């Protein structure tokens, strides 16, 4: 059965251009022309959503937020040139990638394949769960628990936390975290890493547990244990 890709954009030309390339690659296309229809079109058969930021009824940012409440569905966001703030917000909400309009349909399909490939790669069983005093990060189920209580985190927050905690004492630059977690080099947007770290820290009170996320000024971050 062909994999279904949801295209959520109010521009008919985008649907036609992407549809031709996606169908040529063996995908089945589901079309939505506004945010509400996008939400309604998400079914278990949809493997990825191409999501425009500017849409009627419900913006792409709002759609992304709603999807992330219940699903880890891969999301590739489309953004018009100059919409830097919206793009960063989309990444912070858990979008897996973004591409700026105008774009090459061939490049979008290549990005879609890359995102799906990363999503399908299962972590090794001996490294998918990282546990420290009071903290458990399970990358298979995308869950975080602290002092036996579930902590609600976005997928990217979990992936960053898992990467840091899997390598205690190792310093990761912001560029490394962007490249490894999102899979692409988001030039000039390292601030989104800082925002993610700030949110992770706000959610995880490690007081008295013997570990913390340390800032290495001018470099990046590391997971430090006593």
pLDDT, residue 183, reads: 65
pLDDT tier at 12, thresholds 50, 70, 90: very high
pLDDT, residue 215, reads: 92
Residue 124 has pLDDT above 50, yes or no: no
For the segment 170-181, what is each residue's pLDDT rounded down to a tens digit?
Answer: 999 888 887 777
CA–CA gap between residue 160 and residue 164 (Å, rounded):
6
| 24: Cβ contacts below 8 Å, ≥ 6 apart | none
Mean pLDDT computed over 162-173? 90
DSSP 8-state secondary structure symbol assigned to residue 3: P
For the segment 24-45, what is each residue's pLDDT rounded down to a tens digit?
Answer: 989 999 999 999 999 999 988 8
Contact 132/144 with Cβ under 8 angstroms?
Answer: no
User: What DSSP string runs through 161-185?
Assistant: HHHHHHSTT--EEHHHHHHHHHSS-
Burial class (CB in 10 A: 0-12, 13-18, 19+), 125: exposed
Q: Which CATH architecture has domain 4-120?
A: 3-Layer(aba) Sandwich (3.40)
Domain ranges in the chain?
A: 4-120, 129-225
Asked whether this chain's domains 4-120 and 129-225 adopt the same fold, the reply is no
Domain boundaries 129-225, corresponding CATH code: 1.10.10.10
DSSP 8-state secondary structure symbol assigned to residue 138: E
CA–CA gap between residue 73 and residue 51 (Å, rounded):
12
CA–CA gap between residue 59 and residue 65 (Å, rounded):
10
The edge-to-edge listing of strands for the beta sheet with 75-80 is 28-32, 4-8, 46-52, 75-80, 97-101
- Angle at CA of residue 129, ends 126 and 184, nearest 5°: 95
């Amino acid at each position: 059965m062909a994999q279904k890709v949801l295209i959520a954009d109010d521009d008919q030309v985008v649907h036609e251009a992407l549809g031709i390339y996606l169908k040529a690659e063996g995908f089945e296309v589901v079309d939505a022309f506004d945010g509400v229809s996008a939400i309604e079109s998400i079914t278990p058969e949809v493997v990825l959503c191409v999501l425009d930021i500017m849409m009627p009824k419900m913006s792409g940012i709002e759609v992304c937020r709603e999807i992330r409440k219940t699903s880890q569905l891969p999301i590739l966001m489309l953004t018009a040139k100059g919409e830097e703030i919206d793009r960063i917000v989309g990444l912070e909400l858990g979008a897996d990638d973004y591409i700026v309009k105008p774009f090459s349909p061939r490049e979008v399909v290549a990005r879609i394949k890359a995102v799906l490939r990363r999503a399908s790669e299962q972590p090794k069983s001996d490294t998918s769960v990282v546990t420290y005093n009071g903290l458990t990060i399970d990358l298979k189920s995308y869950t975080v628990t602290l002092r036996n209580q579930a902590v609600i985190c976005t997928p990217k927050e979990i992936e960053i936390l898992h990467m840091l905690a899997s390598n205690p004492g190792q310093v990761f630059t912001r560029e490394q975290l962007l490249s490894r977690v999102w899979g692409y080099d988001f030039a000039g947007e390292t601030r989104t890493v800082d925002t993610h770290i700030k949110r992770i820290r706000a959610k995880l009170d490690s007081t008295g547990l013997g570990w913390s996320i340390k800032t290495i000024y001018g470099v990046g971050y590391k997971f430090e244990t006593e």
